[in-house]
Structure 1
């Protein structure tokens, strides 16, 4: 009989598996969809430094169940800048740079400041087939900007950024090897960015 000190230690679960095991899954969605949302949440938090991440299972607008769990969170920097806002930010930065030069500052750097905005994240698997109808169902349940906190039941569909005029989600596509790729998907036609 083997002695206890020579027995192999049990394999510890990964941090992701521990997170999924300790989280109470939503009864309104399939467990695999909720686990997928937690996997993307883990990736955003620990690989991409997102903060204030939260899983949403019900629409903040109607309180009806969403087609699938969505995430909301704050990225470390702005993900999307509207083309008209980009022009306004460049003009403001150029005026600031000229004012610094007149004041005797030798720095010639152009400082563009666009504060990060809360974003919706749609966790998906690479093997899923997405149609415009399925995306439309997701957009129908979301507000323009995700709510700030869990306590905030009243949703204002007015973003702090006046340039944000269409709904958008960050499509998080998880491949079988656990690689996550992110795309911004906008609701409707959007003015193209300037080069």
Structure 2
């Protein structure tokens, strides 16, 4: 008696495979290592850390020249960095709101500090890479203070945070086991945070 042949159902690609397939560089026979790393970090940000609107940038928004390596931009679910002076203003505003709520007969024992998330630049890197001030300077020279909201170069968010005056990137460092560690790197000297 003949055995019926089982028909294979098509398998949906994994999200990382979909990112690679959707990449604008898919026409090449293989993806360069830096682009593959950027797609890996993009996948990590979207599916592990709930970032939204994560985009790969291959050209500088300042000069429209090709970047040394692909960068990402996206919106984290909550603010990653609060300038120390802004932190003080946010605490004062939260205290005013708490006082007003108590005077209105409400019960409020906690400070409700609200710092809206901001778009961030992300620099994908491997743990084995050696970063110098010169290499970081090349990255900072090629980016704007805030990543562009639109695909049009030289357009920054009109409602940008007035406290955000220094360029920064989130250095996303991936290890060989796909672990990713994030560091905030500022361009130049930055006032230390208040604790």
Q: TM-score, normalised by structure 1?
A: 0.89
Deviation of 1:11 (Å)? 8.4
Deviation of 1:160 (Å)? 1.4
Gaps of 5+ in 1: none
Query: Paired residue for 1:90?
Result: 91
Query: Paired residue for 2:77?
Result: 76
**Aligned residue pairs, count:** 191
Query: Paired residue for 1:108?
Result: 109
**Structure 2 CA distance for aligned equivalents of residues 11 and 75 of structure 1:** 31
**Structure 1 CA distance for aligned equivalents of residues 192 and 186 of structure 2:** 12
For the 8 Å contact 1:145–1:158, the answer to whether it is kept is no
**Structure 2 CA distance for aligned equivalents of residues 14 and 31 of structure 1:** 20
Deviation of 1:109 (Å)? 1.8
For the 8 Å contact 2:147–2:156, the answer to whether it is kept is no
Query: Paired residue for 1:193?
Result: 193
For the 8 Å contact 2:98–2:111, the answer to whether it is kept is yes
Deviation of 1:24 (Å)? 2.5
Query: Paired residue for 1:42?
Result: 43
Query: Paired residue for 2:177?
Result: 177
For the 8 Å contact 1:144–1:157, the answer to whether it is kept is no
Give the superposed CA RMSD.
2.3
In the TM superposition, 1:1-195 aligns within 5 A as 4-5=5-6, 14-25=14-25, 31-150=32-151, 152-156=152-156, 160-195=160-195
For the 8 Å contact 1:56–1:69, the answer to whether it is kept is yes
**Structure 2 CA distance for aligned equivalents of residues 48 and 132 of structure 1:** 28
SS in 1 for 2:182: strand
